[in-house]
Chain A
Amino acid sequence: MADLAARESPPLLSWHSGGAPNLWHRHRKHLQVNSKRHKSIFLHHDVNIQVHHCFWQSFTRARHSALQSFRAATSAALTSTPAAATSLPIDIAIETVVAILVILVGLVLGASPLRPIQWREWAGKIEREGEDGFKDNNGQVNRDYLGNPFEFIEGRPNFVDIRKQRNEFAEWVKGQGNQQK
């Protein structure tokens, strides 16, 4: 068993320190170059990178503890593993915390905008800003935005006098036509 571990560990180590980080760094650089084009894409990529990063770290960490346990196993010949966990390299810990903080900022900035709860402020926002005030981060007007919810009381859509409106529209079209001539 110990022999097996000793035989396994060198290639694992070389893979860890050799190919993968380079690939990883290149990948990250590529993404960062792309992300400078758009702010929103930057945010998304950023979160993607960081989530990626997080999983990467958990694998690093897993491999690290595996290595530790293999070393412990080779030296102490199959003693219990938890002792290895107490010495986590500081760079992994820092990277984890930084990654969490960056994702956190991304998520907070990506949360949908709040709305005023005071009646007069909310109503004033509807009157003053119209649709502009109720857009989400993608610039789309929110689906539940209906403008002034009491507009129908004065508009009275169920009592609409369609013939009058039709005539008015025809007049308006005529007026437009005359203007153009």
Chain B
Amino acid sequence: MAPSLIRSPVQLSPAEALALSQQAPVVLQSSPSTVSSSALGSLFSAAEKPELWIQYENLIISCLRAGDDRAAQECHDRLAARFGNNDRVKALGGLIKEAQAQNNGELDKILKEYDQMLEENNTNLPIMKRRIALLRSMGRLSDAGSALVQLLDFSPTDSEAWSELSDLYFSQGLYPQAIYAMEEVLILVPNAWNVHARLGELQYMAATASGATGGPYQKQMAEAIKRFSRSIELCDDYLRGYYGLKLVTKRLLKDNAKPAKQTDDEDFSLPDSNTIERLNELATAKLAEIVRHSSAQDRGWRGYDAAEVAAARELLSEDAPSGIER
């Protein structure tokens, strides 16, 4: 079954995007091509549903992905007919142009158009975001970074932009900055369990990237444990959280390193090996349970992503021989 059209399609797999884009003709046919915004008109035509516009937006993205430019243009036209020259609609129009651009010259032209729009109104958030995405797509990372920082300067509560900044730094290997930006997201949405898990992953990668096992390594591993634990605390049976926890504790147990003598910074010292051992056991048990239920397609366990379950199974099977050795 194709995923819901209400949800954002960015993170879907190609197969799911294809299934969504194939729904486009049905959606376009079943809903009226123009919806009157006047009070009198709405008495006679079909009721206007806010979901419809979200569906159109999401359809544009999945249709562009699947190469169905005509359907995407149709969705955009309908949005434009309803909302006129709205900033968001303009950004979607730019998205369609970006997708159809053949060479760098055309991309430059689109970039100039964005710049022009921003000159008229330099607080146009959707266009600013498109411009940053386009800069990044063209490989001009530092330009994208500075534009993003500028955006965050006047709109510091935009969690999506902070997350983009974190991802941008991460792609350049600047872990401390990426972690800082993600922590900003966490200040804005303290209960987002996936952000906690993401931060844990960043900490883990930062710790293991250098290869050293000194003070910063242990501090970052301790942070990672904390972040993963919090994500599990906020969400029962969170596959990603348990996966991360298992990864971190496994590595720490393999290191078998004694906690460094860190008395100055109590918040970030590693827990003792006994606790790590128990965390590892807990994560292993939970992962095994999730994998078992999910592969049996038990009722109430079908929400997990198949790829994530497969990764967890692999992690567990890696673990099995080493468990016998011990």
Q: In angstroms, how far is the closest chain A Cβ from the Cβ of B3?
A: 8
Q: Is the pair A130, B303 in contact by a Cβ cutoff of 8 Å?
A: yes
Known: A120-B236, A162-B61, A165-B65. A151 touches B302 (CB 8 A): no
- With A131-B303, A150-B189, A163-B99 known as contacts, the answer to whether A124 contacts B67 (CB < 8 A) is no
> Is B98 in the interface zone, CB < 8 Å from A?
yes
Knowing A128-B301, A131-B4, A151-B8 are in contact, say whether A159-B14 is a contact too (CB < 8 A): no
Chain B CB within 8 A of A95 CB: no
B interface footprint on A118-150 (CB within 8 Å = 1, 0 otherwise): 011101111111111100000001010111101
Q: How many residues of B contact A (CB 8 A)?
A: 56
Place the interface of chain A in its size category: 35 or more
Cβ of B194 within 8 Å of any chain A Cβ, yes or no, is yes
The answer to whether B137 touches A164 (Cβ under 8 A) is yes
Check: B185 CB closer than 8 A to any chain A CB: yes
**Contact B133 A159, beta carbon cutoff 8 Å:** yes
Expressed in whole angstroms, the Cα–Cα distance for A168 and B99 within the complex equals 13
Q: Mark out the residues of chain A between 154 and 168 whose CB falls within 8 Å of any chain B CB in the assembled complex.
A: 154-166, 168
Report if B10 contacts A (CB, 8 A). yes
User: Contact between A157 and B8 (Cβ–Cβ < 8 Å)?
Assistant: yes
Partner of B238, one of A127, A147, A163, A173: A127
Interface check B11, CB cutoff 8 A? yes
Shortest distance from the beta carbon of A24 to any chain B beta carbon, whole Å: 40
Is residue A90 within 8 Å, beta carbon to beta carbon, of the partner chain?
no
| In the complex, chain B residues 1-57 whose Cβ is within 8 Å of any chain A Cβ | 4, 6-11, 14-15, 17-18, 51
Q: Does B287 contact A (CB under 8 A)?
A: no
Are A127 and B10 in contact (CB-based, < 8 A)? no
Q: How far, in Å, is A7 (CB) from chain B's closest CB? A: 54
For residue A33, CB closer than 8 A to chain B, the reply is no
A133:B300 contact, CB within 8 angstroms: yes
Cβ B95 vs Cβ A123 within 8 A: no
Contact of A141 among B4, B14, B65, B126 (CB under 8 A): B4
A125 to chain B, nearest CB (A): 8
- Cβ-Cβ contact count across A and B, 8 Å cutoff: 143
Cβ A154 vs Cβ B195 within 8 A:
yes
Q: Which residues of A contact B101 (CB under 8 A)?
A: 163
- Asked if B239 is an interface residue, CB under 8 A from chain A, the answer is yes
Asked whether, in the complex, the Cβ of B234 is within 8 Å of the Cβ of A169, the reply is no
> Interface stretch among B158-166, B244-252, B315-323?
B158-166
A172: interface (CB < 8 Å)? yes
B234 touches A166 (CB 8 A): no
Checking A123, A129, A159, A173 against B234 with a beta-carbon cut-off of 8 angstroms, the contacting residue is A123
Chain B residues closer than 8 Å to A170, beta-carbon distance: 67
Complex contacts, A129 vs chain B, CB 8 Å: 300-303
With a cutoff of 8 Å between Cβ atoms, the chain A residues found around residue B299 in the complex are 132
Assembly CA distance A130 to B303 (angstroms): 4
Across-interface contacts of A150 in B (CB, < 8 A): 189, 192-195
Do B195 and A157 have beta carbons less than 8 Å apart?
A: no
- Determine which of A133, A151, A153, A157 lies in contact with B61 in the assembled complex, contact meaning CB atoms within 8 Å: A157
B71 at the interface (CB under 8 A from A): no
Residues of B within 8 A of A152 (CB): 8, 160
Please determine whether A160 and B133 come into contact, CB atoms closer than 8 angstroms.
Answer: yes
Report Cα–Cα, A125/B133, bound state, in Å: 33
Contact in complex: B195, A127 (CB < 8 Å): no
Is the beta-carbon distance between A158 and B7 smaller than 8 angstroms? no
Are A153 and B159 within 8 A (Cβ)? yes
A 92-126 to B, binary, CB cutoff 8 A, 1 in contact else 0: 00000000000000000000000000011101111
B61 x A127 contact (CB < 8 A):
no
Q: Is the CB of B193 within 8 A of A123?
A: yes
Cα(A45)–Cα(B99), bound, Å: 54
Bound complex: CA A77 to CA B304 (Å): 80
Are B11 and A120 in contact, with the CB atoms below 8 A? no
Tell me the smallest distance from the CB of B48 to a CB of chain A, in Å: 15
Q: Across the A-B interface, give the 6 residue pairs with the lowest CB-CB distance, nearest first.
A: A130-B303, A124-B236, A123-B235, A150-B192, A172-B14, A155-B10
Chain B interface residues toward A at CB < 8 A: 4, 6-11, 14-15, 17-18, 51, 61, 64-67, 91, 95, 98-99, 101, 126, 129-130, 132-133, 136-137, 159-161, 163-164, 167, 185, 189, 191-195, 198, 233-239, 299-304
Supplied contacts A124-B236, A126-B235, A155-B10, 4 more A-B pairs, CB within 8 Å: A119-B191, A128-B301, A158-B130, A172-B14
Pick 18 A–B contacts, CB within 8 A, sort by A: A120-B235, A123-B193, A124-B237, A125-B236, A126-B235, A129-B301, A129-B302, A129-B303, A130-B302, A132-B303, A148-B194, A150-B192, A153-B189, A154-B163, A155-B11, A159-B133, A162-B61, A165-B64
